[in-house]
Amino acid sequence: MEQAKLILDKVGVGGDRVKMFNLSSGEGPLFAQYAIEMDNKIKELGPSPIRLAKRKKSAA
């Protein structure tokens, strides 16, 4: 996971956009909590730099 974060940082996407959680199937409420936390983190980080670059390229 750390390697994936480093790669995403190097290509400009941001390593904070990926995280791994180990849960059992009986941990539904914890899964929901993690999903909400990651959703909030992604919203905080804003749009993907790759998506923004594609928009700029197609607009040019």
Compute the average pLDDT of residues 44-48. Answer: 89
CA 37 to chain centre: 11
Give the up-direction half-sphere exposure of residue 55: CA atoms within 13 A in the CB hemisphere.
6
Q: Which pair of tokens denotes residue 35?
A: 């999903």
Q: Say which residue, 50 or 29, is predicted with more confidence.
A: 29
Q: Say which residue, 52 or 33, is predicted with more confidence.
A: 33
**Given pLDDT bands bounded at 50, 70 and 90, which one contains residue 51?**
confident
Model confidence pLDDT, tens digit, residues 11-45:
888 899 999 999 999 999 999 999 999 999 999 99
Statement: residue 60 has pLDDT above 80:
no
